[in-house]
Amino acid sequence: MSERDHHPAPMTDVERRARALEELLVEKGVIDLATVDAIIDAYANDIGPMNGARAVARAWVDGGYRERLLTDAVAALAELGIGGPEGNIVVVANSVGVHNVVVCTLCSCYPWPVLGLPPAWYKSPEYRSRVVREPRAVLAEMGCDVAADREVRVWDSSAELRYMVLPERPAGTDGLSEDELAALVTRDSMIGVATL
Amino acid sequence: MTVRDDVQSMEGAGAPPRSNGELVFDSPWQGRAFATAVGLVERLGLDWDAFRSRLIAAVSADADRPYYDSWVAALESLVTDTGLLDPVDVADRAAALET
């Protein structure tokens, strides 16, 4: 028998119930333990906006990494140990002439392996429809004024392809370490509804 | 939308405990029960709502019950209602784990 039988503390009723369900489903071949373990890892291991922020900070200090992040984000994120169980992620860079913003017009697809839990407004019908029609107005209402001579590009996510914005590095941050830079990167800046 | 998008963005009555956007498990069995449900729904090709609706029903049936106790009740109702497992087998196995 497995080491699970040497449980250190008495199991509660619900714990026994949960274990019985898992064991029977595994024995019947409905699910397998590796899948269960992989799902636990995917959710328990640091899914949150700091993953995206780490990648942004690395891109700011390492031009080679920036190129890799923009050309093959999945591989570049994997370099930092960031992985999603599914779906492709594409990173789009803000620049002097371009501001990028991300939406999912159909539902609420979101690059959660890098950004964590989507904010409530991301799923609102209003944001989803208006940011496509009048992105500048929506951004301004959210406190993000984009200069008139700067192009606004709206990226529509799907289950197969999710976008993350690489914001511009703020001025006056030359002396900061990579960790300090990562701490400056907000979730909203990686959705594209804020600048830094 | 995939099952995991739906799981990740659960809010309202069925929303799991979180801290700073991340899921919180008080003990390992809760994480295993969580992952078992997600894996099962994916494997069966169901919509996440097949589980979520049961979870909401379980939460509202006993609002004082801890969240993951309701989660296990929802999981059990899903696997027995769909005929994957016999409720008697589940009860027998749970009882056998006591020794």
Backbone angles phi, psi at A21, to 5 degrees: -65, -45
Nearest residue to A16 via CA among B43, B29, B58:
B29
Answer whether A39 touches B (CB < 8 Å): yes
Q: What is the pLDDT along chain B (99 residues), one digit of tens a residue?
A: 577 777 777 777 677 776 655 677 778 888 899 999 999 999 999 999 899 999 999 999 998 899 999 999 999 999 999 999 999 999 999 999 865
Structure tokens at A44: 């328990």
Query: What is the identity of the amino acid at B5?
Result: D
Chain A residues with beta carbon closer than 8 angstroms to that of B90: 17, 20-21, 24
And the tokens for A20? 């019985």
Q: Which amino acid is at A130?
A: R
Considering Cα of B39, then A85, then A182, then A45, what sign does the dihedral take?
positive
Query: Is A36 in contact with B32 (Cβ distance < 8 A)?
Result: yes
Element (H, E) at B48: helix B48-61
B65-82 pLDDT, tens digit each: 999 999 999 999 999 999
pTM: 0.60
Please tell me the predicted confidence (pLDDT) of residue A4. Answer: 47
Do the Cβ atoms of A114 and A190 come closer than 8 Å? yes
Query: A127-164: per-residue pLDDT in tens?
Result: 999 999 999 999 999 999 999 999 999 999 987 889 99
Of A23, A47, A123, the CB nearest to B93: A23
In this prediction the ipTM stands at 0.92
Paired tokens of A81: 């140990």
Q: A-contacting residues of B 8-47, CB under 8 Å?
A: 8-9, 11, 18, 20-23, 25, 27, 29, 31-36, 38-40, 43-44
Nearest to A84 by CA among A107, A113, A106, A63: A113
Q: By percentage, how much of chain A surpasses pLDDT 90?
A: 62
Catalytic residue status for A107:
yes
Per-residue pLDDT tens for A5-35?
444 567 889 999 999 999 999 999 999 988 8
- Range A108-143 burial, b when 16+ CB lie within 10 A, else e: bbbbbbbbbbbbeebeeeebbeebeeebbebbeebe
